[in-house]
Amino acid sequence: MDKYVIQDTGNASSSEPHNVNIGESSSKRPCTEINVPSDDIIGNPALRKPINSYDPRIQDDVRRKYVLTGPCQPITHTFPKILCGDKDRGFRNWKKANEKFKNHVGKEGSIHRNAQTLYLAFKDQRQSVTRRFSTGTENIGAAYRARLIASVDVARLLLGLGLAFRRQDESLSSIYRGNFLEILSWYSLRNPDVGKVVKDNAPANHQITAPSIQKQIVNACASETTKAIICDIGDKFFSLLLDEARDNSVKEQMAIVLRYVNKLGEVVEQFFGVVHVKDTTTFSLKDDVDNFFAMHGLSISKVRGQGYDGASNMRGELNGLKTLILNENPYARYIHCFSHQLQLVVMTIAEGNQFISDFFDYLSLITNAVGASCKRKDELRQK
């Protein structure tokens, strides 16, 4: 094999990898360069080298060269001839030619038939193992991609409408399995291409409908939405709006809204995210805001306004969140939330006017009395 190996004459150490050129292939492998000399491609099977004597890495290239060369007609070989009339012929029993040819080729499993099968399979690369495996992989990937796109479409619809994804009973026997699964089922019935790859037509471990998958899709949508808002803000200034509320799971959540002027010159307010706060003290809230800004690449120095309610931990003059941000950025002017101001005004007026105060007291009594009885509701509607 030395004549087929081109040794590297460089100064590199023998332990370093070499560039490889196998036959006509341009792929690179970490070993020596190997070529198939044209002199070795001999049509006569009796004179050619056995293909299994070549390096395993170039055996397919040798076969490919023989296929490209085409069939061989050994003109230098002397075949035995028989005088037929006035001419010498190598075969004269033409009446039984078909039978003789079939005997020469042999039955199923003979050497000739196996060689022909291997030749046709090698010549047609679409039937090769690599091609079949690649095609199967492409089909599996296309089906998986179609299922994923369908699940993402359903998730985007539910997120846009602000609807819940799941319900308590999502078993097959359930009448209603939740918004996500029901809409996906409806989608598969209306779109045949989706119906071919979801539900029973999908592998058990590739349904893309598990709760964990739904959460990942939601998180991905949230991440893309956040990136879009940050891209829209760019390097412009913005205002920070915060408020706290307790959710149904009895967790204190802090909603963060950014107010800025977009690229069209319009003043917009974008809901940016929710942060779970374990402590509502001023310094704890400031740390949560700093961590949230650092996570999304925002800076307190870009804040030009801040708006909160009138709670002491938010607008306190000494240790409120407003004061801590002003100490760090004096341009972040504080404005009391107008919604909270309106609420305080309404409460003050209602408490100072006896007629308004009585109206709300009676309204509360009527609501409690009527809401406890269906008959009372019907009577009130009739009145």
The two counts, helices (H) then strands (E), for the chain are 13, 9
Q: Check whether 12 has a pLDDT greater than 50.
A: no
- Least reliable range by pLDDT among 112-116, 253-257, 276-280: 112-116
> Which tens digits make up the pLDDT trace of 252-261?
888 999 999 9
- Indicate if the alpha-carbon torsion angle 200, 206, 208, 213 is positive or negative: positive
Q: Check whether 239 has a pLDDT greater than 90.
A: yes
The CA-based angle 376-378-383, given to 5 degrees, is 95
Q: How far apart are CA 337 and CA 260, in angstroms?
A: 16
Structural domains of the chain ordered from first start: 137-218 (no CATH), 234-341 (3.30.420.40), 353-382 (no CATH)
- Indicate if the alpha-carbon torsion angle 49, 53, 55, 56 is positive or negative: positive
Q: Count CB atoms within 10 A of the CB of residue 270.
A: 19
Q: Check whether 225 has a pLDDT greater than 70.
A: yes
> Which tens digits make up the pLDDT trace of 259-271?
999 988 899 999 9
| 236 in Cβ contact with 268 (< 8 Å) | no
Q: How far apart are CA 135 and CA 102, in angstroms?
A: 36
Q: Count CB atoms within 10 A of the CB of residue 92.
A: 14
* Across 260-286, average pLDDT: 89
Q: Which of 232, 240, 256 is nearest to 304 (CA)?
A: 240
Q: Check whether 217 has a pLDDT greater than 90.
A: yes
DSSP state of 49: P
Inter-CA distances, 288 with 82, 90, 178, 229, 326, Å: 103, 97, 34, 20, 16
DSSP string, 102-127: HHHH-STT-HHHHHHHHHHHHH-GGG
Q: Which of 315, 259, 249 is nearest to 282 (CA)?
A: 315
pLDDT of residue 244: 83
| pLDDT band, very low/low/confident/very high, at 130 (cuts 50, 70, 90) | low
pLDDT of residue 27: 42
Work out the mean pLDDT of the chain and round it to a whole number: 80
Length of the chain: 383
DSSP state of 53: G
* Across 296-319, average pLDDT: 86
| pLDDT band, very low/low/confident/very high, at 9 (cuts 50, 70, 90) | very low
pLDDT of residue 136: 63
User: pLDDT higher for 203 or 3?
Assistant: 203
Place of tokens 């190598």: 90
- Least reliable range by pLDDT among 10-19, 46-55, 149-158, 233-242: 10-19
Q: How far apart are CA 147 and CA 213, in angstroms?
A: 12
